[in-house]
Amino acid sequence: MELTGPIVLSDNRYGKAENRIVRIYRDSARHEIRDLNVSTVLRGDFADAYVSGDQSKVLPTDTQKQTAYALAKKPGVQPVEDYALALAAHFVDETEPVHSARVEIEEFAWQRVAVGGLEHDHTWVRQGPEVRTVTVTVAGKGVEQRAWVIGGVDDLVILKSTGSQFADFLVDDFTVLEPTNDRVLATAVNARWRFAATSGVAWDEVYAGIRTAMIEVFATRHSKALQQTLFDMGEAALEAYPVLAEVRLAAPNKHHFGYDLARFGIENHGEVFHAADRPYGLIHATVSRQDAPPAGPAWEP
């Protein structure tokens, strides 16, 4: 097929990615820390920059960086969702060519250390691998302006050593997998939840509560497949927080293969496993409230 139509710019966006902002609150002897990776993305009237090289409507990505650091002082980053909303609104409100702004934040957790059994005022150790995420989109000027907040977690690595099966699946000519009624189930949950509100939410508490709800259902409910477990986790989050409109989950099945020790005359009843790297199953699920408000541009990258 030969296309002959004119060549056009059909979509564009740009921003500054991965500003590594660390904010210390030191108003009292007991300091607080928020450790962020902040990315900003602007959409708007930027076609000239691409098509003719005219930069007159382009706010430099360096300026976006300066702004991200400046607003980390005031209004500050506590809670992170309000910071993201303020930063995104700043670009839309103060920069004429910007139609919408997206702020994506990873927050790295730090745990206050104990000294002699007491929490220390200004020392922490990093906790991971899990990372909390916040994604905010602000679109429109003045009274037309709307906003969306998506929370999330990446790399919540979780494992159960029993209470998981995989059997009674479809079989074809290439199926050699044996069904199993007792296996290790391990994954690294990547989840995103869309809020139906942008204010009046106890952001930090809700994050902790969703995490707990998902972990508890993973632990306690028997798994017939990772698919079922993901659905259950999304459902648990929605049930726990009616302010949530939908939850999107992506989870690798981190295979733990029982190691064949029978060759050596050794019994292995679910005790010795090889943790494989690649390939891995990859399961996606979206769980929603049927009365969820429209997502608008919330999920646009």
Catalytic residues: 16, 61, 255
Q: Reduce the DSSP state of residue 109 to 3 states and report it.
A: strand
CB of 138 to its own copies, least distance (A): 17
Interaction with its own copies in 74-133: which residues (CB under 8 A)? 74, 94-95, 97, 110, 113-116, 120, 122-130
CB of 144 to its own copies, least distance (A): 20
Interaction with its own copies in 167-206: which residues (CB under 8 A)? 167-177, 184, 196-197
Residue appearing with tokens 């998902």? 214
Residue appearing with tokens 């199926």? 175
Of 89, 93, 161, 299, which lies in the binding site for its own copies, with binding defined by CB under 8 A? Answer: 161
- Pairing mode, strands 98-115 and 146-160: unpaired
- Rounded to whole angstroms, the Cα distance separating 276 from 196 reads 39
Does position 294 interact with its own copies (CB under 8 A)? The reply is: no
Does position 18 interact with its own copies (CB under 8 A)? The reply is: yes
CB of 142 to its own copies, least distance (A): 19
41-49, 78-86, 131-139, 142-150 -> range binding its own copies (CB under 8 A): 41-49
Of 215, 240, 296, 300, which lies in the binding site for its own copies, with binding defined by CB under 8 A? Answer: 215
71-79, 81-89, 139-147, 202-210 -> range binding its own copies (CB under 8 A): 71-79
φ and ψ at 36, to 5 degrees?
A: -125, 150
Interaction with its own copies in 252-281: which residues (CB under 8 A)? 252-253, 256, 259, 261, 263-264, 266-281
Does position 35 interact with its own copies (CB under 8 A)? The reply is: yes
Contacts (Cβ under 8 Å, ≥6 apart) of 191: 152, 153, 156, 210, 214, 233, 234, 237, 247, 248, 249, 250
- Rounded to whole angstroms, the Cα distance separating 229 from 284 reads 11
79-87, 142-150, 202-210, 231-239 -> range binding its own copies (CB under 8 A): 231-239
Q: CB count, 10 Å around CB of 139?
A: 21
HSE on the CB side for 268, CA within 13 Å? 15
Does position 52 interact with its own copies (CB under 8 A)? The reply is: yes
Q: Is 281 exposed, middle or buried (0-12, 13-18, 19+ CB in 10 A)?
A: middle
